[in-house]
Chain A
Amino acid sequence: MPSRTLGLLAALALICGAGLHAQVPTYPFRDYSMARDAELALVRTTCLAMRAWSAPTYTPNQFRDFSYDATIRAPICFDPIAPRTVLPYYELRSTLGMAGKTPVQIADAVASAYATGALPKREGVSFAYMWSAEQHLGQASVIGARI
């Protein structure tokens, strides 16, 4: 899927949050897109189209193999807290995935980064929504894990 299309998916996820003031940063990652600076209203949020590298790190075990399912498209919008505490985690997972690391290697690297403080500590709750008709979440969407 062209990166422009992925950017459009991120923008659509953003529009689903109509009434929000959304910011969608650009990304240096090849084939990992975000829309840019779409400002809609009052609350700042950040939207992107996540790829398969956003699969779980540990469990469910069967979903870890999603890391290399090229069909997965997961438009998502983060609340104002998640970009500081959660997005770095997905950035790291994406970097490792694009470097060809296996799910086990990704899990080891994530655990190490969290232990050393390279990833921010998760000390509170943050939110996101995924509400795009264009999303494809692989097997998880088939069983209705995320709607």
Chain B
Amino acid sequence: MTVFAPYYTNAMVGGNAFGSPLPQLSDDAGTPFAVVVIPVDPALAVGVNGGKP
């Protein structure tokens, strides 16, 4: 999941390391264009017919 969170910094989402499985600031921290990435386990995906992909 991608969250466009203006002016957010990595510390505001837990200070997690870049590339970790936890939420992190990926782009342009502290600017209007800051992007928070929340990694999601692909195993949780639901397929088109309701099953696993």
Contacts and interface: CB of A to CB of B under 8 A. Distances in A.
Are A and B physically bound partners?
Answer: yes
Interface of A: 15-16, 18, 56-60, 63, 76, 82, 85-86, 89, 110, 114, 121-131, 140, 143-147
Contact of B39 (A76, A127, A144): A144
A60 B45 contact: no
A140 B26 CA distance: 9
Contacts of A60: 18, 26-27
B32 A114 contact: yes
Main secondary structure of the interface of A (DSSP, over half): loop
Interface residues of B, number: 27
Given A125-B4, A126-B4, A129-B1, A146 B31 contact: no
Contacts of B40: 131, 147
Given A143-B18, A147-B39, A127 B3 contact: yes
A122 B4 contact: yes
A57 B21 CA distance: 24
A132 to B, nearest CB: 11
A35 to B, nearest CB: 16
